[in-house]
Structure 1
Amino acid sequence: MTAIATVTVVGASLAGLHAARGLRARGYDGRLVVVGEEYHRPYDRPPLSKEFLTGDGDPGEGLGTLALTDPEEEAELDAEWLLGVRAEALDTAAGEIRLSGGRALRTDGVVIATGATPRTLPLPHPAGVHTLRTLDDATRLRAALRAGAERVVVIGAGFIGAEVASSCAALGLDVTVVEAAPLPLVPQLGEEMARVCAGLHARGGTTLLCGTGVAALRGGDRVTGVELADGRVLPADVVVVGVGVRPVTGWLEGSGLALDDGVRCDEGCVTALPNVVAVGDVARLARPGTARTVRAEHWTSGMLQGAVAARNLLAGSTVEPFDALPYFWSDQYGARIQYAGRREPGDTVRILEGDPADGGGFLAVYERDGISTAALGVDRPRPFMRLRRELARAPQPAGR
């Protein structure tokens, strides 16, 4: 294997940071460069839709508790931070990354950690329409919610949309959530449990409208309302669009890497080029023993993939697969939702604790052929974590 003199991590994200940590933990002592399009050091994104929006602190004071590094760790990482810089192309033949401003960065190894960017509606967007992905996005939304807004419309009832709606309701605002699907979160939770979780909106005082799309965003200079496909118009001072994300791969076109709603990798985060790995929201990993690939948009996956990718990058091939059980959580309307595993259509649900019908917490397990495949908990953190550990140790049905 050719010695790796320089490794460049493209994306100053959670996944990128953990890859950098993994490289140093594995003994890599060469040049380490971290390129980030934002001007911020890596920070924690989950609070952006929750306590950051509802908090009373001054958002102008910097990253504060969101920061994932401190000066001592940054000194130990001994990385060059190129922040406010965008990667524009990867020339694998020349071993270079072309950056905004015309600079070319010579590198021997690459960690792709560019994450994802919010999808938008194919409609004119007047002022007052927001997406939420970055700290700067959250800062703008936070200011808008405190600038006399009374009515908020959230488009999309996925986890980000639901969390933003919950935060807006906590601020005392009139909130309506619009979801094009007949019921939100069915692909993740299945219809039965999705219906239960959808009930949290009513519990929190939010109106949930399902089964209708958005035809237009009303307003001239500023948004005044949302026109639905069925003709209704919802008055709005602030609109938040949460209709999913798309992986940031445009800069990789022409690189020779396989792009398919993400960067195609093997089961160890390694691309077709052994000196290029991908982690986090942008990585689409092969599932061993199947013909499937999976791209996980979860905090835990981004964190854990970094160490695996770093080991395989230094080894020059996949010597360790990424096989962690999928896990995510969401805080909505005072309830914590936790999910782990790989539910698929046809799996049945069995309630282990509590009663979803009474509006309280519960613990459920998904099963197929007598084997547990996934777990869902609402306000059951300790028993859920025990069940999660059991799932991680248990064999999964073939083809998972």
Structure 2
Amino acid sequence: MSLLPDQSGLSAEPIHAIQSLVLAALYFQSVDMRVAAFHHIGQAMRICLVEGIHRHMPEHIVGADHSRRCNTVFWVVYILDREFGALMGVPHSLPDEDITVKLPSQLDGSIDAMNMALHVQLSGLTARIFTTVYGSGGGSDGSLIPNTQSILRDLARLSQDLTDFFRTHFQGSVSRASRMAQRLMISYHHCVVLTTRPLVMCALQMHVENADAQTPETIPLTPPVRSLLQSCVDSAQTELRMMRALADEDLLDSFLPFQLEAAFSSAFVLYLLRVISPSLLQDDAWCNNIQHVLDKMITDGSLVAPLRKVELSQLEHVMAALTPEKCKPPPSVSGDSRSMPADLDCSLSDDILNNPFWDIFVTDGVTGLLPQELMELADRLDVDFLPDSH
């Protein structure tokens, strides 16, 4: 922080002030100072509004370089504002309809511009998930199911956009070596986990109410809800497998907060579902993956990963009390196990696994459910599964 310029001297240089605030916000978020991070990115967004950077700046008026610079700066602020606001559970202050600045992909057909545009869509979707499905933007009584349906349709459309992007720029497959593609897919699967997590919590409530039952699956699940929970499991496991691959290649973003948050959220729902409905999980390879990822982040100097590891250990201990003895899963094992789940929609052959450039999965496997299947689930989702209290 001492390397950043003094904010009081940047009033005459609004772009520099915004960039400095963004760096400060990112640092605070990385050391788990979420309130400070939210304040700083909020201040950066307000400078954008004052300077009109949220509006399109025509090149023939302000110059090509300044127009492009303002475009890039605004979308970086937008992405972080949406992400940090979602982590705080607060609604965003700038509605999307008030933004007229063009997406990077509308100015430039390069792969970097398209990558940025997809991250803009993902961060916007993350914000909508928290303001609708989680009700942080208003009352949520009775609105969980319709809001979930709406987000599922958005996910289906975004899944198609990602698939088209990968097919165009990655020759139909996503290489292990492509951090750009890995980050996009991790962010997408994180959205799937966030969307379905309220259903997991509803299932947990029902499981707690039936804690005396002695069967592996103690609660009834309608087919659409079971499919959604399975999609949650698949996306969570995919995130952890991908981050395990990044860790093995020493490519994890260990200091930055995004992959740690995705890993923690994925492990959180998997620990719950392993107790609530064990049949949804084919094996416990994800336990090794989360341990490996967290240990790698801790080794790399992450200040937050040790806390997240302790929190997951406490969660596992709490959930053990809700599990019948004969149904208890084996304990988590830390170490360098490289086992992979065997039952995957886009499973990897031995030949591919032995290849140093093996693919994580083909682009048709961006999500466990195809776009049309997500659309069908949204249409079929009903409220019979849910407890009376939302």
Q: What is the TM-score with the length of structure 1 in the denominator?
A: 0.28
Q: Which has the higher strand share?
A: 1
Q: Which has the higher helix share?
A: 2
Q: What is the TM-score with the length of structure 2 in the denominator?
A: 0.29
Give the structure, 1 or 2, with the largest relative contact order (CA under 8 Å, sep 6 or more). Answer: 2
